[in-house]
C-alpha cells in the first residue's frame, strides 16, 4: 500500500503557512508537499486519493486566509521550475500553473503581445488566477485562454480547450484541483504601448488600493452593479479595528493586518463588515477570499 512516507524528501511536516500568504497569518499545514515533476504530482495525488487524505493546492497565497489552527491533511505547492516556466511561440504564451501571473504579464509585454497587461498589479499564480478568473475593471484572465492542462485530485491529467471553459466574475468552471499548464492567445502590439498602458493602470491601482500593507486584496466580491468598497465605506467601517486587523482607510474592501494579527480577528472583522453592510444597505456580501 502506498504511503505518504514515500514522499518524505519533498514533504515538510507542520509547516507554517503564514509566510506563504499575503496576510502572513494563520497556522501550519499538517503536510506541505512540493512535487518536482508532473509525474511526481500525479503520484502524490494518487496516494492521497487512496488514503482518503484531504488535499488543497496553495498558489501565491494572495487571496487566502488561513485559520489560526492551521490546515489538516496535505497542502501542495507547485514551486518547482517544472511548474513555473513561461514560453512564447507566435501569438501564444504557455505558462506553468505555478508561474506568477506578474511574470507572465511582463514576458508577454516584452515580447510585444497584448492582453495580459490589463491584469498588472494582480498577485498570485496562473493556476489561482484561472480558477478565480482574476481580473478587474480592465479585463480578466479568462478572455485570453486558449487551453489548459489540468490534473484532478485523483491524479488524472487532461487538456481542456478554451471553448469548454466558462469564465465569469471571479469564478470559472475549472473545478479540477490543479492547473498544470495554460496556453494564452494574445494580440501583437508595440511593447512600448503595452508598457505605457501598464504604467497608467499601475498608477491608478497604487492610488486606490493599499498595496504596501499586508492585505489579501478585496475581501468581498462586488455585488452586481455595486461596489463592496463603497458600501463598506458608507456603512462607516473604514478604519474599524479588531485586534491588529483593520478595514483599510484607503479602500473599504481591504483588510490590512499588522504584526501580531490573528486570523480569528480577521474573521470577526469580516462578520462585522457583513452585518453592518446588511443593516445599512440590505445587501449580503459574498466572500472573495478563500478561508482554509
Ligand atoms: N469606492 C468608495 N470607497 C471605497 C472603495 C471604493 O467609495 O472605500 C468607490 C470608488 O470611488 C469607485 C467605486 O467604489 O467609484 C469602485 O472602486 P474601485 O475602482 O476601487 O473598484 P472596486 O470595484 O472596489 C474592483 C476589483 C478590484 C480591482 C479593481 C480595479 C472586486 C471585488 N474588486 O474593485 O479587484 O483591482 O476593481 O480594476 O471586483 C480583488 O479582487 O482583490 C481586487 C482588488
Percentage of the chain with pLDDT > 70? 99
Angle at which helices 191-208 and 101-110 pack, to 10 degrees?
A: 150
The pLDDT of 121-135, averaged and rounded, is 96
Statement to judge: residues 173 and 109 lie in one domain: yes
Mean pLDDT of the chain: 96
The pLDDT of 113-121, averaged and rounded, is 97
Read off the CATH number of the domain in which 242 is found: 3.90.78.10
Atom of ligand 1 nearest to the CA of 289: 42
Statement to judge: residues 68 and 165 lie in one domain: no
Say how many domains are in the chain.
3
Statement to judge: residues 127 and 74 lie in one domain: no
CA 195 to ligand 1 center in whole angstroms: 23
Point out the domain boundary residue: 31, 59, 81.
81
Q: Is 213 exposed, middle or buried (0-12, 13-18, 19+ CB in 10 A)?
A: middle
Statement to judge: residues 69 and 98 lie in one domain: no
Question: Which residues lie closer than 8 Å to 13 by C-beta, 6 or more apart?
Answer: 30, 31
Statement to judge: residues 37 and 54 lie in one domain: yes
The pLDDT value given to residue 210:
83
Give residue 47's domain range.
4-81
- Residue 199: pLDDT band (50, 70, 90) is very high
Nearest residue (CA) to ligand 1, atom 23: 227
Beta bridge partners of 290: 64
Read off the CATH number of the domain in which 134 is found: 3.30.465.10
Give CA–CA dist 88/81, Å, rounded: 16
Residue 247 φ then ψ, to 5°: -70, 125
Statement to judge: residues 94 and 179 lie in one domain: yes
The pLDDT of 164-193, averaged and rounded, is 97
CA 54 to ligand 1 center in whole angstroms: 34
Record the cell numbers describing residue 62, joined without a space: 494572495
Statement to judge: residues 180 and 280 lie in one domain: no
The alpha carbon of residue 144 and the mean position of all alpha carbons in its chain are separated, in whole angstroms, by 17
Statement to judge: residues 176 and 150 lie in one domain: yes
Specify the DSSP element, H or E, that contains 221: none
The β-bridge relationship of strands 113-114 and 187-188 is: antiparallel
The pLDDT of 259-287, averaged and rounded, is 97
Statement to judge: residues 100 and 39 lie in one domain: no
Statement to judge: residues 53 and 115 lie in one domain: no
Statement to judge: residues 186 and 106 lie in one domain: yes
Statement to judge: residues 128 and 171 lie in one domain: yes
- Residue 238: pLDDT band (50, 70, 90) is very high
Specify the DSSP element, H or E, that contains 17: none
Atom of ligand 1 nearest to the CA of 137: 38
Point out the domain boundary residue: 30, 56, 81.
81
- Residue 169: pLDDT band (50, 70, 90) is very high
Point out the domain boundary residue: 34, 56, 81.
81
CA 116 to ligand 1 center in whole angstroms: 19
pLDDT beyond 80 at 74:
yes
Nearest residue (CA) to ligand 1, atom 13: 227
pTM of the model as a whole: 0.94
Read off the CATH number of the domain in which 37 is found: 3.30.43.10
Amino acid at each position: 500500500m502506498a504511503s505518504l512516507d514515500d514522499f518524505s524528501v519533498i514533504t515538510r511536516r507542520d509547516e507554517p503557512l503564514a509566510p506563504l500568504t499575503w496576510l502572513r497569518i494563520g497556522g501550519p499545514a499538517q503536510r506541505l508537499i512540493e512535487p518536482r515533476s508532473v509525474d511526481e504530482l500525479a503520484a502524490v495525488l494518487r496516494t492521497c486519493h487512496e488514503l482518503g487524505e484531504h488535499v488543497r493546492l496553495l498558489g501565491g497565497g494572495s487571496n487566502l486566509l488561513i485559520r489560526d489552527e492551521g490546515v489538516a491533511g496535505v497542502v501542495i505547492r507547485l514551486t518547482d521550475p517544472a511548474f513555473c516556466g513561461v514560453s512564447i511561440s507566435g501569438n501564444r504564451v504557455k505558462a506553468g500553473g505555478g508561474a506568477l501571473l506578474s511574470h507572465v504579464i511582463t514576458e508577454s509585454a516584452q515580447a510585444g503581445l497584448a492582453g495580459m497587461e490589463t491584469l498588472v498589479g494582480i498577485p498570485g499564480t496562473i493556476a489561482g488566477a484561472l480558477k478565480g478568473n482574476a481580473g478587474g475593471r480592465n479585463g480578466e484572465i479568462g478572455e485570453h485562454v486558449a487551453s489548459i492542462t489540468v490534473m484532478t485530485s485523483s491524479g488524472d491529467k487532461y487538456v481542456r480547450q478554451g471553448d469548454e471553459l466558462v469564465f465569469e466574475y471571479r469564478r470559472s468552471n475549472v473545478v479540477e484541483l490543479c492547473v498544470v499548464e495554460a496556453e494564452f492567445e494574445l494580440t501583437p502590439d508595440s511593447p512600448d504601448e503595452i508598457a505605457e498602458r501598464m504604467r497608467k493602470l499601475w498608477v491608478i491601482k497604487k492610488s486606490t488600493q493599499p498595496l504596501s500593507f499586508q492585505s489579501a486584496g478585496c475581501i468581498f466580491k462586488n455585488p452586481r452593479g455595486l461596489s463592496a468598497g463603497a458600501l463598506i465605506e458608507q456603512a462607516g467601517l473604514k478604519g474599524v479595528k479588531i485586534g491588529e486587523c483593520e478595514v483599510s482607510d484607503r479602500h473599504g474592501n481591504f483588510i490590512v493586518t499588522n504584526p501580531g494579527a490573528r486570523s480569528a480577528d480577521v474573521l470577526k472583522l469580516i462578520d462585522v463588515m457583513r452585518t453592518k453592510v446588511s443593516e445599512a444597505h440590505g445587501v449580503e456580501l459574498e466572500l472573495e477570499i478563500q478561508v482554509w
